[in-house]
Amino acid sequence: MKALVTGMHGTVAPVLAQALRAGGGTVAPWDRTLHPVDSPAAVRDFIQSERPDWFCHLAMGSPDWAGWAAETCAENGIPFLYVSSVSVYAAAQTGPFTVRDVPVPDDDYGRYKFECERRVLAAHPRAHVVRIGWQIGARTGGNQMVDHLDRTHRAHGRIDASTRWFPGCSFLSDTAASLLQILRLPPGLYHLDGNPGLNFFEIAAGLNRLRGMPWTVVPVAGLVQNRRMLDPRVSVVPISRRFPDPRS
């Protein structure tokens, strides 16, 4: 199985690529320096020349690129994965969200991701569109929670973590495993979230123990939000299973 994967300089795509290769697949990265993404003809030519068995779109590119790629894949019978975000839901919307809850995005990023979802599904009705939560990496660096927490700690000497905020989130390697599982499910919209109900303080404190970080994590009654997502079709390793017992 050959997958053409976008966003390979990012945080999530390399981990998905690793999982694809571990499963015996091959990965062709989309190198934007060689293959432009701002022309429908260039997008079409590159996909048709690669002839992948799967197209996995994880890059933060334009909705046009997403739409053109989806259209080309639909015409050529190539299955399409688009990785979206829990951020399509507005701050005022309260989870846990199911795929039946219609997003009403209230910021630029949410509107952008929702527009990409819309373009992909319009061009390729048999696409897989997967909303993921905040990603958790193995170390600092990249666009993920451990890096955010470490930067917060360095800037303020402490991390104020709300006990009333329930983010959608999952460990990167678990996200990749669940994405592979979703590729085997029927096309459609999916939610991928590994938070079984932990609040942000519990998560930050758990990561502090797990990663052996020197953070001071302080419980606060701050942000009140439930951003969890539910989808009974998708199994994701619960983040709590990764955390060492606080008593040990």
Q: Which stretch binds ligand NAP (CB under 6 A): 11-19, 183-191, 218-226, 229-237?
A: 11-19
- Rounded Cα–Cα distance for residues 140 and 143 (Å): 9
Please give the Cα distance from 235 to 231 (Å, whole number). 8
Q: Which residues within the stretch 129-158 sit at the binding site for ligand NAP (CB under 6 A)?
A: 132, 134-135, 142-144
Letters for 33-52 (x = contact with ligand NAP by CB under 6 A, - = none) are: ----x---------------
| Bond prior to 244 in cis (omega within 30° of 0) | no
**Burial environment of residue 149 by CB neighbours within 10 A (0 to 12, 13 to 18, 19 or more):** buried
Name the amino acid, one letter, at 159: I
Min separation Cβ 11 and ligand NAP, Å: 4
Rounded Cα distance, 130 and 245, in Å: 31
x/- site string to ligand NAP, residues 51 to 90, per CB under 6 A? -------xxxx---------------------x-x-----
Least separation, in Å, of the C-beta of 196 and ligand NAP?
Answer: 18
Q: Which is nearer to ligand NAP, 77 or 195 (CB)?
A: 195
Buried b (16+ CB within 10 A) or exposed e, 199-231: bbbbbbbbbbebbebebebebeeebebbbbbeb
Q: Toward ligand NAP, which CB reaches closer, 7 or 52?
A: 7
| 37/217 with CB nearer ligand NAP | 37
Q: Look at the chain and count its residues.
A: 248
- Report if residue 19 touches ligand NAP, rule: CB under 6 A: no
Q: Three-state secondary structure along 28-46?
A: EECCCCCCCCCCHHHHHHH
Q: How far is the CB of 126 from ligand NAP (least distance, A)?
A: 20
Q: Which region holds residue 141: left if phi is over 0, alpha if psi is between -120 and 50, else beta?
A: left
Contact status: 162 vs ligand NAP (CB under 6 A): no
Q: How far is the CB of 6 from ligand NAP (least distance, A)?
A: 6
Which H helix or E strand runs over 26? strand 26-29
Using CB under 6 A as the binding rule, the residues of this chain from 188 to 217 that contact ligand NAP are none
Three-class SS of residue 191? strand
Residue number with CB closer to ligand NAP (141 or 216): 141
Rounded Cα distance between 87 and 224, Å, is 16
Instruction: Specify the residue, 46 or 221, whose C-beta has the smaller distance to ligand NAP.
Output: 46
Q: Is 11 in the site for ligand NAP (CB under 6 A)?
A: yes
Pick one of 10, 25, 63, 188: the residue that binds ligand NAP (CB under 6 A): 10
Where on the chain is the footprint of ligand NAP (CB under 6 A)? 6-13, 32, 37, 58-61, 83, 85, 113, 132, 134-135, 142-144
